[in-house]
Amino acid sequence: MFAALGPVPDGITLFLDDQPIIACPGDTVAVCMLRAGIPYNRLSPVSGAPRLPYCMIGHCFECLVEIDGIANQQACLTVVRDGMKIRRQLGAPLALKHPEV
Ligand code: FES
């Protein structure tokens, strides 16, 4: 579906659902996941339908994933970092409890 135009230069390692994947420094999480052939990045909390990034510019919110333990992060706007831990969202994420409540 998607492929790099050349070899991945000095790739960094991310972990998607605990599986390592190689990314290019400067890429977004969405680009990295599409290049890796990940079939979906979340399941709709309403229908359970698999969803993939659509607009790649921060408008549609189809690319939401959990990044380093924080849910609902826009993968298309988040630049990869070495060791980043990404989880696909399967339905509605749990609401975060405010630390002072
Ligand atoms: S792909 Fe549309 S907001 Fe990320």
Share of the chain above pLDDT 70, in %: 83
Give the number of the atom of ligand 1 that is nearest the alpha carbon of residue 64: 4
Confirm whether 98 is domain-assigned.
no
What backbone phi and psi angles, to 5 degrees, belong to 33? -65, -40
Give how far Cα 29 sits from Cα of 2, 59, 69, 96, Å.
14, 16, 15, 22
From 52, 59, 78, give the residue whose CB has the most ligand 1 atoms within 8 Å, as the site to mutate: 59
pLDDT for residue 86 is more than 90: yes
Residue 101: how many CA atoms within 13 Å on its side-chain side? 4
Confirm whether 82 is domain-assigned.
yes
Confirm whether 2 is domain-assigned.
no
Average pLDDT over residues 21-47: 92
pLDDT band at 99 (very low <50, low <70, confident <90, very high): low
Confirm whether 69 is domain-assigned.
yes
Please tell me if the CB atom of residue 52 comes closer than 6 angstroms to any atom of ligand 1. Answer: no
Query: Contact, 66 vs 89, CB < 8 A?
Result: yes
Confirm whether 56 is domain-assigned.
yes
Instruction: Say how many domains are in the chain.
Output: 1
Confirm whether 5 is domain-assigned.
no
pLDDT single digits (tens) 52-82: 999 999 999 999 999 999 999 999 999 999 9
pLDDT band at 1 (very low <50, low <70, confident <90, very high): low
Residue 79: which CATH number? 3.10.20.740
Please tell me if the CB atom of residue 36 comes closer than 6 angstroms to any atom of ligand 1. Answer: no
